Amino acid sequence: MPLPCCTKLAEVDVMPVIALVGNKGGAGKTTLAVNLAAGLARSSSVAMIDADPQGSALQWSAITGDAAAPSVSVAEADLQRQAVKLLQDYDWVVIDCPPSVHAPQTGAVLGFGDLALIPVQPSPMDLWASVHIEQSIEEAHKLNSSLRTLLVINQLEPRTTLSRLVRDALSEIAFPVADTAVRRRAIYRASALQGKSVFDMGRRGADAADEIDQLIQEVTIA
């Protein structure tokens, strides 16, 4: 019988607390968190919690002029209580965790979150770091048996050999991999600098918006 953490997402209910989890910086975790939240916010109410010490999501929120953008708040000491309180007013809570599975905030979120999204770049360093995430998720699952996990190939460059082989490499990890891969696109950086998401960038952001939409479909299927 497969572990609950490996259950296909299509077999489970909607998961309102989504944690973006990583074990190294530079994997595009915050960029994915912001755009995922922005995509969800087009049809639902969304709150973000910035638990990453770099505070990039908060900085993004400070320069955005879009009243419809997701609300972003700094992480409080009791993250679970904060998330539960936000869910009284919002449909979704997206939490940008620190870039370490050993950080207390990450451990706390894994203890109550519904879905851990793990962006993985097609690089040896990211693949090695994912092994440590697997161990931490397995430990968290002892306390939070409903936690689901989904690996997301991020910053993909389709023409490189490593990008073509990354799915085979990730098959060694006991978590499902999203069908949707997020490509390396300059529009992600450009939109962030303007306090926008790819959904606000018109035709220039259309391809990026489509892939985020596809990922949202995978995440929100009931």
What is the architecture, at CATH level 2, of domain 4-220?
Answer: 3-Layer(aba) Sandwich (3.40)
For all residues of the chain together, what is the average pLDDT? 85
Which has more pLDDT, 126 or 20? 20
Distance separating alpha carbons of residues 156 and 92, to the nearest angstrom: 27
pTM of the model: 0.86
Q: Which of 20-29, 85-94, 155-164, 188-197 has the lowest mean pLDDT?
A: 155-164
Q: In what order do the strands lie in the sheet with 17-20?
A: 71-74, 46-50, 92-96, 17-20, 115-120, 148-156, 182-183
For residue 51, give the 3-state DSSP assignment.
coil
pLDDT tens digits, residue range 157-194?
777 666 566 667 676 777 888 889 899 999 999 999 99
Distance separating alpha carbons of residues 42 and 212, to the nearest angstrom: 12
Band of pLDDT at residue 34, cut at 50, 70 and 90: very high
Q: Where are the domains of the chain?
A: 4-220
Distance separating alpha carbons of residues 145 and 76, to the nearest angstrom: 24
Per-residue pLDDT at 14 exceeds 80: no
**Residues contacting residue 190 through CB under 8 Å, at least 6 positions apart:** 201, 204
Relative to beta strand 92-96, strand 182-183 is unpaired
pLDDT tens digits, residue range 104-142?
999 999 999 999 999 988 766 666 666 677 788 888 888
Distance separating alpha carbons of residues 92 and 41, to the nearest angstrom: 9
Q: What is the DSSP letter of 139?
A: H
